[in-house]
Amino acid sequence: MDNNIDNLQNNNFSKIKKSHIYSSTPVFILIIIITLGIGILAGFLISEKETEISPLHQKTTKESTENILFWTCSMHPQIKQDGPGRCPICSMDLIPMKEDAGGGGKASLKLGERARQLAAVKTEPVGYKELTKSIYTVGKINYDESKVSHVTSWTGGRIDKLYVNFTGTIVQKNEHLVFIYSPELVSAQNEYLIAYKGLKTLQKSSIRETVAGSTSLLKNTRDRLLLWGITEDQIKKLEQTQKTETSLTIYAPTGGTVIDKNVFEGMYVKTGDRLFTIADLSRVWLYLDIYEYDLPWIMYGQDVEVSTESFPGEVFHGTVVFIDPFLDEDTRAVRVRVNMDNRDGKLKPGMFANAVIKARFGANGIIFDPDIAGKYMCPMHPDITSDQPDNCPECGMRLEPVGKRQQSGFGMKGMDMGISESSLHNHQGVLSVPHSAVLYTGLRNVVYVEKQEANYEPREVKLGPKADGYYHVIAGLKLGERVVTKGNFLIDSQMQLLGKPSLLFAEGSGFNERDGKEDKMPDSVLTDYTFDAPQFRDAISRIIDVYFSIRTRLANDSMDGIEKSILSMEEKVKKIKGNNLDLPENVYKELMKKFAHMDHQLADMSGKSLDETREAFKNISKNLREYVEEFHYRLKETKKVYIFFCPMAEASWVQENGEIGNPYFGSKMLNCGTLENEIP
């Protein structure tokens, strides 16, 4: 029964399925036709699109390849190749340089708006400015020596009374200081009274010689009393009372502060003994130490801004009145004296002070302060000036024009730059550019000038002294030209990558098309490779080790064994000059330029004193520094060395470690210098 039921159900399902298929045939066929149509249309469109895009893509790729001038390394722009690859020096991927990369001509660079924004380029016009250079130094307050007085005893005796009995007392001129008993004074007064009475008695005498003798005797005794400090009023009182005084009062010869007291009550003194020292502190002297490299900026009459820790925020002013004519060999500084007004008494002798001297200068040197220009001064008292060539009220000498005796310590006229004042200086100042506009290598000074908008060219300039924030321009720029003050390093790096004239390459590194010629790298590029030369490494290592031993002895103020070291180093230098020691030929030629005269310099160093040896050591150090900076780190398996520079000696030296040891001053200034470079 179950089988019959299943058969019945299957027959019914077959009928239903067959009926559904045949009833849906038109819809099914329509779906198939639509699907085929969409596929054909899509295939046509894709084919047509590929036909349009492919030639455009090929054209773009072709143009991009044709615009590439060469391939270079961003770290080593001297590397230039025709195709992509890796830098032979640092193995970085080379980058393409295209014709439109920079533009602007062979010696200039043109940047787009976006490139200028990314580089943050800023420019500033060249103009005239009143330039000043600030010299910062320290000093110490002291007494004005011209206003210090000593009070001495004019006669021998005993101190009966001290009116001023402690140091620091302020006294006025002619105020009493001490009361002194003197037997010699009593005797002198008695002699005066006898002469006085005798003249009164003989005035009516007809004998002229007698009257003249009595008059002369009275005058002599009177002068003696005056020399001992007896005043005119005391002499008149003596004549009236006819009584001698047993004691003498000594008065202050000048007003001021008692800075030294050498007597006590009851003490016996002799004629000439110093009793007190009085200093007038209404004006004080400030002594400044000026290093020799700042000395050209200091001159007579300059204003000095002074500050002290005692009065923070308050600025005092003084005037340069004297420059010592000699240099302190220990400190390498010259002492400069500044007059300071101190009527309010704030500045105390012994105080330390910070000082700023601002030197104004023009094209021909430092400009005199307008307050003293054209005036006259006393050679003996430089603080006394006048509009007329009168006589000095202090010493009677004839006043001289300010600056006439600058060689004797009254200041300098300035630095002569060998150019006319009228060409570069007007009433507004001198032609100037900001510090940030100048790129310099030590030999060349370069600025980037905006010729047209966004078009920059390098310009080598001749600069004068470095002022506060600006350089004085002597040659190379004109008034109104715009120079790049920000972004110039980025512009210069792009110029180097393009092989155009730049800071490091005055003529440009260039790119010459091969024209089918053999690809040969220039000799200058070869020195950028790391090379392995065991023979040369051993020879130069021995030279450097001997150099280090000489440097150590000089730093220790010792000449022991230094003669032997000099001869040894000389012999080794001659050896490498006569043998290329497995070096590449072009590298050997470049190296020999550094050692060309070193053996002769070492020979001149022999048999000298310590100071002479140190001076000759500067040339040896200069040559060795050039070698280690350009070649030493390229030589495989070499030790690290350090380069130091001493501003006082204006010389550098090479050292085996980073612990400074100055060979030019030794123990006097062993730590003088700065670390300039570390050669790996």
Cα-based angle 153, 157, 160 (whole degrees, multiple of 5)? 95
Q: Characterize the bridge pairing of strands 283-291 and 256-261.
A: unpaired
Please report whether residue 138 resides in a domain.
no
Q: How far apart are CA 68 and CA 528, in angstroms?
A: 25
Q: Are residues 55 and 85 part of one domain?
A: no
Computed on alpha carbons and rounded to an integer, the radius of gyration of the chain in Å comes to 47
Number of H helices, E strands in the chain: 13, 35
Q: Are residues 191 and 247 part of one domain?
A: yes
Q: How far apart are CA 136 and CA 355, in angstroms?
A: 6
Q: Are residues 471 and 404 part of one domain?
A: no
User: Which residues neighbour 314 within 8 Å (Cβ) at sequence distance 6 or greater?
Assistant: 307, 308
Cα-based angle 7, 9, 11 (whole degrees, multiple of 5)? 70
DSSP category for residue 372? T
Q: Are residues 296 and 273 part of one domain?
A: no
Q: Are residues 375 and 264 part of one domain?
A: no
Q: Are residues 183 and 155 part of one domain?
A: yes
Q: How far apart are CA 583 and CA 567, in angstroms?
A: 25
Please report whether residue 602 resides in a domain.
yes
How far, CA to CA in Å, does 164 sit from each of 171, 176, 656? 9, 8, 66
Q: How many CB atoms lie within 10 A of CB 544?
A: 21
The continuous run of DSSP H or E covering 38 comes out as helix 2-66
- Given a contact cutoff of 8 angstroms between Cβ atoms, the answer to whether 183 and 267 are in contact is no
Q: Are residues 53 and 90 part of one domain?
A: no
Q: What is the mean pLDDT of each run of 10 residues along the chain (680 residues)?
A: 45 42 44 46 40 39 57 73 80 71 67 78 90 91 91 88 90 89 84 83 69 81 81 83 81 89 91 91 94 86 92 93 89 93 93 92 65 74 78 80 56 39 51 91 87 88 88 90 90 81 75 37 41 76 87 89 84 74 69 73 81 87 82 75 87 87 89 82
Q: Are residues 264 and 153 part of one domain?
A: yes
Q: How many CB atoms lie within 10 A of CB 326?
A: 8
Q: Are residues 360 and 452 part of one domain?
A: no
Please report whether residue 419 resides in a domain.
no
Exposure string of 90-114, with b = 16+ CB inside 10 Å and e = fewer, is: eeeebeebeeebbebeeebbbbeee
Sole residue written with tokens 């048999």? 607
Please report whether residue 577 resides in a domain.
yes
The confidence score (pLDDT) of residue 368 equals 61
The confidence score (pLDDT) of residue 14 equals 45
Please report whether residue 51 resides in a domain.
yes
The confidence score (pLDDT) of residue 86 equals 84
Q: How far apart are CA 304 and CA 93, in angstroms?
A: 59
Q: Give how many domains the chain has, as a whole number.
A: 6
Q: Are residues 602 and 572 part of one domain?
A: yes
Q: How far apart are CA 446 and CA 452, in angstroms?
A: 18
- Given a contact cutoff of 8 angstroms between Cβ atoms, the answer to whether 274 and 331 are in contact is no
Full strand arrangement of the beta sheet holding 385-386: 385-386, 376-377, 400-401
| Distance in angstroms between the alpha carbons of the first and the last residue of the chain | 104
Question: From the centroid of its chain, how far is CA 352?
Answer: 23
Q: How far apart are CA 340 and CA 383, in angstroms?
A: 11
Question: From the centroid of its chain, how far is CA 652?
Answer: 16
User: Which residues neighbour 70 within 8 Å (Cβ) at sequence distance 6 or greater?
Assistant: 80, 81, 82, 96, 97, 511
- Which amino acid is located at 370 in the chain? P
Q: Are residues 557 and 514 part of one domain?
A: no
The count of residues in the chain is 680
Tokens of 296: 């050209």
Residue among 473, 452, 454 at smallest CA distance from 463: 473
Could you give phi then psi for residue 391, rounded to 5 degrees?
A: -95, 150
Q: Burial of 164 by CB count in 10 Å (0-12 exposed, 13-18 middle, 19+ buried)? A: buried
- Which amino acid is located at 280 in the chain? D
Could you give phi then psi for residue 362, rounded to 5 degrees?
A: -120, -165
Q: Are residues 639 and 566 part of one domain?
A: yes
Please report whether residue 79 resides in a domain.
yes
Domain region containing 370: 287-325+350-408
CATH code where residue 496 lies: 2.40.420.20
Residue among 115, 110, 121, 135 at smallest CA distance from 437: 121
Q: Burial of 172 by CB count in 10 Å (0-12 exposed, 13-18 middle, 19+ buried)? A: exposed
pTM for the full model?
Answer: 0.55
Please report whether residue 466 resides in a domain.
yes
Q: Burial of 354 by CB count in 10 Å (0-12 exposed, 13-18 middle, 19+ buried)? A: middle
Please report whether residue 611 resides in a domain.
yes
User: Which residues neighbour 123 within 8 Å (Cβ) at sequence distance 6 or greater?
Assistant: 450, 482, 483, 484, 485
The number of C-alpha atoms within 13 Å of 239 and in the hemisphere containing its C-beta is 17
Which of 279, 299, 333 is where one domain is finished?
Answer: 279
Tokens of 574: 């001659």
Cα-based angle 29, 32, 36 (whole degrees, multiple of 5)? 140
Q: How far apart are CA 565 and CA 551, in angstroms?
A: 10
